[in-house]
Structure 1
Amino acid sequence: MWTENDDKIEERVRNGLGAVNSVANYDDRIAPVPSAAAATPSISNLNVNNSKKVHIGPKFVSVTQNVQNQELVKGLMESWYLRREDWQAMPSYKLPFHKYLWDIVKNSSRTERLSCAVAVMVLITCIALIVYFTGMSANTSESPIDKAPHEWRITREMWLARPYNYTNTLDAFEPLMLVIFQHTVSPQCSVFKNCAAELRNLQGYFISHYDYDIPYNFLVGNDGRVYEGRGWNIEGAHTFGYNRCSIGIGFIGDYRGEIESHSSVTETQLNRTRMLLEEGVRLGHLRKDFLVIGAKDLGPTASPGSILNNALKQWPNYDHKNRFYKLNCEKMEEKFGNTTLY
């Protein structure tokens, strides 16, 4: 604390008296100050608490807390090493983020500002290019080019089927009265090249595991095209007990409505299937009054799936009476060979 005795000492120093015994006052303590003739004193650390006035040499200054903090910060900043107690004692100045950025820009040189501007422009350009090419890639993957040798009728040669020698034909029961639908329960295909690849996979699987060709006479892809399997007048391997007297058509995909990733039946698939069957009538392989049915109506299977089966039930020649159930080919011919089916 500054006392009356301090004022007297101050007066003596101001009048040049007691110069040899001049003092500096800090923290309510008195320390001798060298005479004016002596070298200028160097005070490396001055900490003032609870005092408003202090002598530093021949000068009289007023020290406040703000001055103390500023001098402390300046001194600490000049040191390359900060002790824990030093940086904890440093005052914290919180600036809004935009003011902080503005201070950085204002205190930077023209060259630094230009360099930052160029870097920002390069970053923006890179982001724009990434977004652009990502969008282009997504569009390309969603809409791949779909080219096929024929608009809807794909032969074995077109999908690059492996050659296979057949020994059993359908001559004994042609023209046929029954078309049986199944599904392949395999991955979907929305373009020709993928559907052709899927047929090659199916053919390779059946040849290697069962030693026979792809079991269906024809297959319908999710691209709406009809693919030749074994073809007309060739006995298939699609429905046990009915292969010798029916045509088997397999829809690529899984059409069970109870599973989450089921396939959907399109009008294009149905229309082109009808076009195929009309071709069969025209070529003499099918009766004009032929009937269609799902494999599940003839045996213990979920094929062709509820979605496809419900679509077939809308056809006028769907066998709602299920008249072929538990009949073999000979009994079918004997019972319905000379009668009109609908």
Structure 2
Amino acid sequence: MSLSTIPDQPSNLENKSDLVEASGSDENPYDLQINGVQIDNSRDVYFGDKNEFHGPLNIEDLKQRDSGESDTKTNSNCDKNEEVISNNIAPNKGYIWLQNVPKYNSSLLGISLGMIILFIILLVTLLCLKQGTRNESKFRIVTKKEWQGNPPTNKTTPLVTPVPYVIIHHTATENCSTLAECASHLRAIQAFHVNSRAWYDIGYNFMVGGDGLVYEGRGWTEEGAHTLGVNFKSIGIAFIGTFIQIAPPVQQLQACKDLIKLGIELNYIKKDYHLFGAKQFYGTESPGTALMTEIKTWDRWAKIPNVTYT
């Protein structure tokens, strides 16, 4: 290829990096002349910068920018099948709000969310367990006023506490499974003790119902009339019902254990107390064969009582 300048032809090229394409004529495709430059034996010659762009291209008009205007054009030579995406918008892939967060912040955010979810799960679990514990252990002492018992007909003897003995009885009545049923039985028992046996009050310190509730009798501070010879140093607890052939239900047994535990905590019962059935002291069927068999498995049950009768 050879180049020669033709000075008498004016040049139309300006300093704007304009791209000028020169092609040969049909007669001699290899001899070209453009803008004062003679080109021999060549074809597809370009004057100026030749730039190729692939992908999205934004061209800003500097003249309009200088005048305070803004205009954005998309190069029409770009591939029409290629999607042009603004730098300010994340690709439509996954969650956009996470993609705009730096990687290390995304990891920290994920860990934080995981810890929050775990905390909520643990909190809900603890609340459920706490609620379940409440339902399963509904220990409560129903006062004499609540079960509509009568006050003592005379002043009873104060009980010296803490006592060394806990003595278990049964009432030898029908069993009960609701507060109303148990209260009805207790009112009948109190009337029998006061009217038929001439006692000042119901004979037991506490009674335990098949509903899992404890019922107040003479209480922690008054001497009972349940086991002759040891009333002055014992707390008498009666299971409402008859338990010769069948043992009391689980909630009734648990209520009795909880009552003894409370008595120890309140210092009404000695920590090293001894547990007995009423039949170990005198000729009675109480607390019934089945219940007696049960209390023999309890920790503080004593086989031979060391009793001084008065």
CA distance in 1, matches of 2:251, 2:191: 28
Partners of 1:176 and 1:152 in 2: CA distance: 22
> For 1:193, what is the secondary structure of its paired residue?
helix
1:157 is aligned to: 145
Per the alignment, residue 224 of structure 2 pairs with: 236
**Partner residue, 1:192:** 179
Please give the alpha-carbon distance, in whole angstroms, between the structure 2 residues aligned to 1:231 and 1:287. 16
Deviation at 1:196, TM superposition (A): 0.6
* Match of residue 328 from structure 1: 309
SS in 2 for 1:316: coil
SS for the counterpart of 1:227 is: strand
CA–CA distance in structure 2, aligned partners of residues 169 and 298 of structure 1: 22
Find the counterpart in structure 1 of residue 169 from structure 2: 182
Bigger Cα Rg: 2
1:119 corresponds in structure 2 to none
Structure 1: how far apart are the matches of 2:139 and 2:250? 16
CA distance, structure 1, for counterparts of residue 220 and residue 305 of structure 2: 24
- Contact 1:215/1:230 (CA < 8 Å) preserved in 2? yes
Q: Is the 8 A contact 1:182 1:295 kept in 2?
A: yes
Measured after TM superposition, the shift of residue 156 of structure 1 is 0.8
Q: Distance in 1 between matches of 2:155 and 2:251?
A: 31
One-letter amino acid of the structure 2 residue matched with residue 167 of structure 1: T
- Distance (Å, rounded) in 1 between the aligned partners of 2:173 and 2:197: 17
Q: Is the 8 A contact 1:217 1:232 kept in 2?
A: yes
- Out of 247, 262, 267, the residue aligned to residue 284 of structure 1 is 267
The corresponding residue for 2:212 is 224
Contact 2:164 2:234 in 1 (8 A): yes
- 8 Å contact from structure 1 (residues 178, 290) kept in 2: yes
Cα pair 1:178 1:291 within 8 Å, conserved: yes
RMSD: 1.6
Aligned residue pairs total 171
- Report the structure, 1 or 2, having the larger helix content: 1
Q: Tell me which stretches of 4 or more aligned residues in structure 1 moved more than 6 Å.
A: none
* 2: CA distance, partners of 1:219 / 1:232: 12
Residues 206-238 of structure 1 show CA distances to partners (whole Å, capped at 9, x for unaligned) of 111122211000001121211111111211110
Secondary structure in structure 2 of the residue aligned to 1:199: helix
Output the amino acid matched with 1:271. Q
Alignment partner of 2:237 out of 240, 249, 273: 249
Alignment of 1:107-126 (within 5 A): none
Structure-1 residue corresponding to 2:253: 270
Tell me the TM-score normalized by structure 2: 0.53
Deviations 1:223-264 (A, max 9, x none): 12111111112111101111111111111111112xxxxx53
Aligned residue in 1 for 2:158:
169
Distance in structure 2 (CA, Å) of the matches to 1:289 and 1:267: 25
Letter in 2 for 1:187: E
Query: Could you say which residue in structure 2 is the equivalent of 1:209?
Result: 196
Question: How is 1:45-56 mapped onto 2 (pairs within 5 angstroms)?
Answer: none
Q: Deviations over 1:170-193 (max 9, x none)?
A: 12xx21110011111112111110
The percent of aligned pairs where both chains have the same amino acid is 38
Residue 166 of structure 1 and its aligned partner are, at CA, apart by 2.9
- Structure 1: state its 5+ residue gaps: 1-149, 258-262, 330-342
